[in-house]
């Protein structure tokens, strides 16, 4: 499968490269749907952008996480780069380092989609509709392209934002080295972002109508948290590039980490990786002034988004839980929920669902979400030292009153 696929890609890429460029030509600064443009300069042909990017050490592909077209663009761009370069590696912001074994097993063909998403702790770590990303994951699996987890645990960045980097012991920093200080331009952009989220950031501790100074400790911790992410992504990409210098390492991540070269690219350069291309998708209807020079190496015009794909009905037991060594403990039961009707009580420890061990919250969530409307889900739980058997009976039609989004 892989040789045939790559031969077909190679033929397609060769055809693209062979077409004489209809561009470059002067451009107003806006980007049309399906066009590539160098911000602040000219429209350019796809062959020119991609053939140059394929010679770099690292290529960063941006996204808005919930935009389906952005992920389709990432897929077509990654496929073209794979055809041109021959060997690529895909790094993903969506996965923390601890789930790297799941990525390796997926590429090796050892896991089903369901098993992969459960092993990667997708529902808890990322939670955005996996259908947006699955074509990229299958592209890697079909062609045996290594997938690399770029991220760190959210608890790490939360601790940095709450208490500062010094509060996190070196052994708990997941090997992430000290970040290169943010440029003044990056600080300006982060300050604007911080102000947009100020009501949440200040949590009611600042009088209404006042703004924090640039040296406000909460803002400085916010910057530290962002730098941890940028450094973590850059370090993982740089390490893989050093291991496989013949491969093109492609980073899949939010565009905020990429634009203007302030984030991940800045950290990559401090790590000695200077051959970097930054490519991002761009809303073709955006105002021309929003596309300044230096925003990225090149941007691709994406048409107006189609209506979002409706998510499948989400079933919930109606409980809040916490993971314990031998299962998950019920912390609360929602009145009128499937769980209450089934007989689950606070302090019960669910140890089995649908005949499979429940080793954590992700396993229980997977079992519940796999249950179709009207299905009966057998459960085993420990209650005061005894094992009891219960049956969660999901209604034939999902009910918002039963499936409160506040509980599992």
Look at residue 309 in the predicted model and tell me its pLDDT. 58
Kindly write down the DSSP assignment for every residue of 258-321, as one continuous string.
Answer: TGGG-SHHHHHHHTT---EEEEEEEETTS-GGGS-TTS-SEEEEEPPPPPPPPPPPPP--SEEE
Most confident of 26-35, 253-262, 314-323: 253-262
What average pLDDT does the structure give for the chain?
A: 86
Look at residue 40 in the predicted model and tell me its pLDDT. 81
Look at residue 203 in the predicted model and tell me its pLDDT. 44
Q: Quick check: helix, strand or coil at residue 393?
A: strand
Look at residue 313 in the predicted model and tell me its pLDDT. 60
Could you say which architecture CATH assigns to the domain 2-155+224-302?
3-Layer(aba) Sandwich (3.40)
Q: The whole model's pTM is what?
A: 0.73
Q: What is the pLDDT of residues 196-206, one digit of tens each?
A: 877 544 544 55
Look at residue 6 in the predicted model and tell me its pLDDT. 44
For strand 42-44 and strand 25-26, is the pairing parallel, antiparallel, or unpaired?
A: antiparallel
Residue of 79, 8, 9, 80 whose CA lies nearest to 45: 80
Per-residue pLDDT, averaged over 378-394, amounts to 93
Per-residue pLDDT, averaged over 356-370, amounts to 85
- 372: alpha, beta or left, given left = phi > 0 and alpha = psi -120 to 50? beta
Q: Is CATH 2.30.42.10 the right assignment for the domain spanning 319-393? A: yes
Residue position matching structure tokens 């996996």 = 130
pLDDT higher for 113 or 370?
A: 113
Domain coordinates of the chain in residue numbers? 2-155+224-302, 319-393
Residue 18 pLDDT greater than 70, yes or no:
no
Q: What is the pLDDT of residues 42-82, one digit of tens each?
A: 789 999 999 999 999 999 999 999 999 999 999 999 999 99
Please give the C-alpha separations between residue 274 and each of 63, 225, 259, in angstroms, as whole numbers. Answer: 22, 24, 16
* Helix, strand, coil percentages in the chain from 3-state DSSP, rounded to 5: 40, 20, 40
Per-residue pLDDT, averaged over 126-135, amounts to 92
Given a contact cutoff of 8 angstroms between Cβ atoms, the answer to whether 262 and 294 are in contact is no
Given a contact cutoff of 8 angstroms between Cβ atoms, the answer to whether 64 and 255 are in contact is yes
Q: Quick check: helix, strand or coil at residue 399?
A: coil
Residue position matching structure tokens 């997941």 = 174
Given a contact cutoff of 8 angstroms between Cβ atoms, the answer to whether 367 and 356 are in contact is yes
Cβ neighbours of residue 401 closer than 8 Å, sequence gap 6 or more: 336
Distance CA 268, CA 58 (A): 9
> pLDDT-derived band of residue 226, with 50, 70 and 90 as boundaries?
very high
Structural element, H or E, at residue 138: helix 134-142
Given a contact cutoff of 8 angstroms between Cβ atoms, the answer to whether 230 and 257 are in contact is yes
Residue 242 pLDDT greater than 60, yes or no:
yes
> pLDDT-derived band of residue 366, with 50, 70 and 90 as boundaries?
confident
Look at residue 407 in the predicted model and tell me its pLDDT. 39
pLDDT higher for 121 or 127?
A: 121
Residue 123 pLDDT greater than 50, yes or no:
yes
> pLDDT-derived band of residue 4, with 50, 70 and 90 as boundaries?
very low
């Amino acid at each position: 499968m892989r040789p045939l696929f790559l031969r077909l890609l190679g033929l397609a890429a060769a055809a693209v490269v062979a077409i004489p460029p209809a561009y470059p030509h002067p451009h107003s600064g806006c980007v049309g749907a399906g066009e590539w443009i160098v911000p602040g300069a000219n429209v350019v042909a796809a062959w020119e952008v991609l053939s140059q990017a394929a010679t770099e050490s690292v290529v960063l592909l941006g996204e808005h996480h919930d935009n389906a077209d952005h992920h389709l663009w990432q897929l077509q761009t990654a496929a073209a780069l794979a055809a041109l370069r021959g060997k690529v590696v895909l790094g993903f912001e969506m996965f923390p380092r601890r789930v790297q074994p799941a990525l390796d097993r997926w590429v090796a063909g050892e896991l089903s989609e369901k098993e992969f998403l459960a092993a990667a702790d997708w529902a808890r770590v990322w939670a955005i509709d996996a259908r947006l990303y699955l074509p990229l994951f299958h592209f890697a699996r079909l062609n045996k392209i290594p997938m690399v987890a770029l991220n760190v645990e959210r608890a790490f960045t939360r601790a940095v934002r709450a208490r500062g980097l010094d509060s996190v012991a070196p052994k708990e920093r997941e090997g992430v080295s000290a970040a290169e200080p943010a440029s003044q331009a990056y600080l300006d952009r982060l300050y604007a972002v911080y102000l947009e989220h100020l009501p949440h950031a200040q949590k009611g501790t600042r009088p209404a109508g006042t703004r924090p100074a640039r040296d406000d400790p909460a803002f400085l911790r916010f910057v530290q948290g962002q730098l941890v992410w940028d450094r973590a992504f850059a370090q993982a990409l740089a390490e893989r590039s050093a291991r496989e210098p013949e491969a093109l390492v492609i980073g899949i991540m939010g565009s905020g980490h990429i634009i203007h070269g302030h984030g991940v690219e800045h950290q990559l350069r401090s790590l000695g990786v200077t051959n970097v291309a930054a490519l991002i998708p761009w809303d073709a209807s955006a105002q021309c002034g929003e596309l300044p020079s230096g925003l990225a190496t090149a941007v691709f015009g994406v048409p107006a988004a189609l209506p979002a794909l409706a998510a499948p009905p989400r079933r919930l037991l109606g409980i809040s839980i916490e993971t314990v060594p031998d299962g998950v403990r019920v912390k609360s039961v929602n009145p009128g929920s499937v769980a209450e009707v089934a007989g689950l009580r606070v302090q019960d420890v669910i140890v089995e669902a649908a005949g499979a061990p429940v080793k954590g919250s992700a396993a229980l969530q997977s079992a519940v979400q796999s249950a179709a409307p009207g299905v009966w889900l057998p459960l085993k739980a420990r209650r005061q030292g005894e094992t009891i058997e219960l049956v969660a009976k999901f209604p034939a039609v999902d009910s918002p009153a039963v499936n409160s989004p506040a509980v599992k």
